[in-house]
Chains A and B, each alone.
Chain A
Amino acid sequence: MLSGWFILFLSTVYMAILFAVARFGDARADAGKSIISANVYALSLAVYCTSWTFYGSVGRATSGGLSFLTIYIGPTLMLLMTGVILKMIRISKVNRITSIADFIASRYGKSQLLAGLVTIIAVIGVVPYIALQLKAVSASLEALLHESGSDFLPWWLDSTFLIAALLAVFTILFGTRHLDATERHEGMVAAIAFESVVKLLAFLAVGVFVTYSMFDGLGELFQRAAASPELARLLQTDASRAGTWTAMILLSGLAIIFLPRQFQIIVVENVDESHLKRAVWLFPLYLLLINIFVLPIALGGLLHFQGQPFNPDTFVLTLPLARGAEMLALLVFIGGLSAATGMVIVETIALSTMVCNDLVMPWLLRYSRIGERKDLSRLLIVIRRAAITLILLLGYVYFRAAGEAYALVGIGLISFAAVAQFAPAMFGGMYWKQGNHAGAVAGLLGGFSVWLYTLLLPSFARSGWIGNGFVENGLFGIAGLKAQALFGLGGLDEISHCLWWSLLVNLGLYIAVSLTTRPDALEAGQAERFVDVFRHSGRETDTRLWRGRASMEELLNLLERFLGKARTHKQLGAYARKRGTTSWQKLPIDAGLVHFAEAQLAGAIGSASARVMVASVTQEEDIGLEEVLDILDEATQVRAYSRNLEAKSRELEAATTELRAVNERLRELDKMKDDFISTVTHELRTPLTSIRALSEMLHEDPRMELSDRKRFLGIIVSETVRLTRLINQILDMAKLESGRAEWTTSEVDVREVIRESMDSLEQLFREKGVMLTGELPETCPLVMADRDRLTQVMINLLSNAVKFVPGETGKVHVRLSADTERVRIVVGDNGPGLTADECNVIFEKFRQGGNTMTDKPQGTGLGLPISRQIVEYFGGNLWVESEPGAGANFIFTVPLPGPEEQQ
């Protein structure tokens, strides 16, 4: 039933549907109503899942178990680095990048050399991958036909060649229909998204069929697998292969953005940066779905075909066929075809754009007079078509040369390792301004050479196409040069080995050469625009980095030749409106216009070619590297200045706030000082008042009675004493407060101080009939203090106490105690006590306890503040514990010297 003709017919119908979808997408894009939504964008990323995924994952799972998953973990992780991809997209938009080769070339000074080099690496690197698709389609076709026993092709026609040719025709129809060469293909993206759905559905269908129809669900499948020791191995993760896993994850993570088709889809075809947000979860979800049945199918195949010859890469086809489910097999075939064609279309379009823009055009423009032709857009299309044909032909050649020796996955990984070589130049170019042209060339060449030697050539050797002496024994018989154990690094699988050495050489050369050489002017400008893309948004620097003369006529000619008349006029019109001019004829011929023209051209022929073309019609002044650096530096400096200014203004604000606070504090201090002086004045004037009044009266009245005379003179004397004491204490206080007091610090026995103070006041206590008792320990550690000052404190506290206790019944008790850290002295009395308020207030200057005139104490109101200052100077504390009516305990502590101080 499954005749070759029927399959061919079905395939053609399917292709026609794809074609219709693409036409529809293009028509909508032309009408300005893009059908590229976030979902379409995310689905189109699934072009990553080629026939490698569709057929090869199962094949790999039959030998490597779960390790096939690494190829999908890497992309998932990579997509999570949204910032990096977003930056790549933004740079590409701003610079109208058309391909990964264009990206790298543009970054390193619009270099034709780099553009060509990257293109060659990409073509050589990706050819095995295209071969893989051919192999897959041909193998699936064979499986299908073999089963039905029909002999469809004449013996002289190779089916793989036929497939390659058909794919070439289809791709040409698909990707290069447009006469205007733009970098974006919305119709193609739509078709790819459609294809992604088809291949997913086909794979899920066969997965469900195998799991639930051929076997009794996942449970049974895994149980039966676990029963067989050989299969059980597949279900386990093998720790010894962790290195391989890491290499695979890294490799596939890089491939998801650096494979030419992936770069095309993710970066170039992106219409809206916000679509990326959807892709970040939708694409991994897609990967998960398409991988869910890989292991069940692999196990099912191994169980079903036990003891028979089989090719695990075609299990998805042979399993349904084995049960006679031909329609399902056809659906699977269409799914696989879908996966293969999708890949081939996008890959060859991306590669042909690169070959055309970055390899052929620059060469043609430079070395032939072709640039003078009237309309070049036709030529561009021809070159691209030729490139597509050539690339598919190369794929076929590789398939013939090496394809048979490898499983599908092995071939794909060779390509992955090749495009991984772009990583240093790409990432370096995006984040490292010093990275330069010479470094990128050196790194790419080095890495590519290692790849060639350790991976591509051995793949030829394995198929017997070339001798394998360099693999077995090393080049020239030198063991250190064994292709897959360089410098004795054995024990790795060939992919990890190649990845390690090639990236090491690549990165090392890139960094080392970049650091030792200087970029040219153009390159320095590009580095700035790439690395700081979010800051510039592509404006100021470019216009300042171009100086010269141009004519509108020539620029117009140039644009028309590559873009066509209509498109040129439309774009110029839009540009004129953006600049606020009514028509483009009135546009000033300046750096901005020239840059616009170059960007438009770059979209069609790549930045390197565009640069050459624009340079050919304008008279440009050379701007030296120094000047470019100056201009860039200026921009940097302006930014630095504005940052500095901002910082300064913040500092100023902070300083102002601080100053205000300080001012407030000063004001407070000033007011305190005022109050203090006012209080001091008051305190001094009060005794002076009595002295003056009494002296005047004595002076004027010589006949005053003797008793009055004696009384008055007594008052005068005591007031004078009070005045003197007051002045002394004020000076003392001032000295203590300003820190100018003199201290004679020595070891002091506190007991002696207490005894002496008590002795000196004995008379005073006896006069008032107050009992003074002391409680001193046998021994007491010495403190470091000023003996006289301590005595001053002690006397102050004792005389305060005697002042406030009632006569005859008054009692004052002194108690000394010491612990390991401090000595503590308590002067307790049975006086009237203090309220909580008073407990605080009495340590303020000129505040005295007692507030009625009758018991107004004799004192200056400075004793306690001075005592507190002294105690605090020694590192101790002075406070009072008291309640009204319960006497008062004045307590002070003096710390003991620390152990090290004692020594």
Chain B
Amino acid sequence: MAHKILIVDDEPNIVISLEFLMKKEGFEIAVANDGEEALAKVASFKPNLMLLDVMMPKKSGFEVCEALRADAANADLQIVMLTAKGRDTEVAKGLAIGADAYVTKPFSTKELVAKVKSMLGIA
């Protein structure tokens, strides 16, 4: 059974590229365009891993992450935060509130794929 990945970003072009990239690797993909939609999709789609943008309208990535971690049902969900702001404080903040990994934009597609695979335990 294919692993499920939820892509959350408000930039359509980034969503397009991430979706294409992950589909090519054989993952099952769902997309959310803002924080609120992301929470809804987690509940319905039940992804194994989510690629979560930080700067989004309505609810930021941090808020989404916090909300998810507050619910024990999502304990197994792997969260990779994507941010265009590469400041150390933000990396630290992301990890502190329960993100499993932190990737700054622009990212290397190869590395992102490798990181996702290793986190999902796919050699």
Contact = CB atoms under 8 A, between A and B. Distances in A.
Contact of B57 (A690, A694, A851): A851
Contacts of B57: 851-853
B84 A686 contact: yes
B108 to A, nearest CB: 7
A693 B84 contact: no
Interface string B85-109: 1110000000000000000111111
B37 to A, nearest CB: 9
B18 interface: yes
Contact of B13 (A681, A685, A690, A701): A690
A688 interface: yes
B39 to A, nearest CB: 15
A692 B20 contact: no
A666 interface: no
A688 B108 CA distance: 11
Nearest to B104: A685
B11 interface: yes
Most chain A CB inside 10 Å of its own CB: which residue of B14, B24, B57, B106: B106
Nearest to B109: A696
A693 B17 contact: yes
A697 B20 contact: yes
Contacts of A687: 13
B16 A715 contact: yes
Interface string B5-46: 000001111101110110010000000011000000000000
Contacts of A856: 10-12
A368 interface: no
Contacts of B11: 686, 689-690, 856
A287 to B, nearest CB: 86
B68 interface: no
A715 B84 contact: no
B105 A688 contact: yes
Contacts of A686: 11, 14, 84, 105
Contact of B55 (A682, A708, A719): A682
Interface string A669-705: 0000000001001110111111111101100110000
A678 B85 contact: yes
A693 B86 contact: no
Given A681-B84, A689-B107, A697-B20, A852 B33 contact: yes
Contacts of B109: 692-693, 696-697, 700
Interface in B54-103: 55, 57-58, 84-87
Instruction: Bin chain A's interface residue count.
Output: 20 to 34
Nearest to A692: B106
Contacts of B33: 852-854
Given A852-B34, A853-B34, A685 B84 contact: yes
Contacts of A854: 33
A694 to B, nearest CB: 5
A689 B84 contact: yes
- From B13, B55, B84, B107, name the one whose CB has the most chain A CB atoms within 10 angstroms: B13
B85 to A, nearest CB: 5
A686 B53 CA distance: 11
Interface string A218-235: 000000000000000000
Contacts of A851: 57-58
Interface residues of B, number: 27
B55 A692 contact: no
B15 to A, nearest CB: 8
A678 B106 CA distance: 15
Contacts of A690: 11, 13-14, 16-17
Contacts, number: 83
A691 B109 CA distance: 11
A681 B58 contact: no
Contact residues of A: prevailing secondary structure:
helix
A685 B106 contact: yes
Nearest to B58: A851
B68 to A, nearest CB: 20
A681 B108 contact: no
Contacts of B17: 689-690, 693-694, 697, 712, 715
Nearest to B20: A697
B9 to A, nearest CB: 8
Contact of B21 (A691, A693, A711): A693
A682 B84 contact: yes
Contacts of B104: 685
A700 B108 CA distance: 12
B67 to A, nearest CB: 19
Nearest to B17: A693
A678 B87 contact: yes
A838 to B, nearest CB: 13
Given A682-B85, A853-B57, A693 B34 contact: no
Contacts of B110: 696, 700
Nearest to B108: A696
B106 A708 contact: no
Contacts of B58: 851-852
Nearest to A851: B57
A493 B20 CA distance: 120
A715 B13 contact: yes
Contacts of B55: 682
Contacts of A715: 13, 16-17
A169 B20 CA distance: 134
Nearest to A715: B13
A851 B58 CA distance: 8
A681 B86 contact: yes
Contact of B106 (A693, A700, A852, A853): A693
Interface in A29-77: none
Contact of A689 (B12, B34, B87, B106): B106
Nearest to B31: A853
Interface in A690-735: 690-694, 696-697, 700-701, 708, 711-712, 715, 719
Contacts of A681: 84-86
A27 B118 CA distance: 116
Contact of A853 (B12, B20, B85, B105): B12
A694 B16 CA distance: 9
A851 B10 CA distance: 10
Contacts of B24: 697, 701
A712 B13 CA distance: 9
A688 B106 contact: yes
Contacts of B105: 685-686, 688-689
Contacts of A688: 105-106
Contacts of A678: 85, 87
Contacts of A691: 106
A700 B86 CA distance: 26
Interface in A146-186: none
A689 B12 CA distance: 12
B29 to A, nearest CB: 15
A693 B111 CA distance: 11
Contacts of A682: 55, 84-85
A693 B13 CA distance: 10
A693 B85 contact: no
Contacts of B108: 692, 696
Nearest to A722: B13
Contacts of A696: 108-110
Interface of A: 678, 681-683, 685-694, 696-697, 700-701, 708, 711-712, 715, 719, 851-854, 856
23 contacts: A681-B85, A685-B106, A686-B14, A686-B105, A687-B13, A688-B106, A689-B11, A689-B106, A690-B13, A690-B16, A690-B17, A691-B106, A692-B106, A692-B108, A693-B14, A694-B16, A696-B108, A696-B110, A697-B21, A697-B109, A701-B24, A712-B20, A852-B34
Which 7 pairs between the two chains have the least Cβ-Cβ distance?
A853-B33, A685-B84, A690-B13, A693-B17, A689-B105, A692-B106, A689-B106
Given A683-B84, A691-B106, A715-B17, 4 more contacts: A693-B109, A701-B24, A719-B13, A856-B11
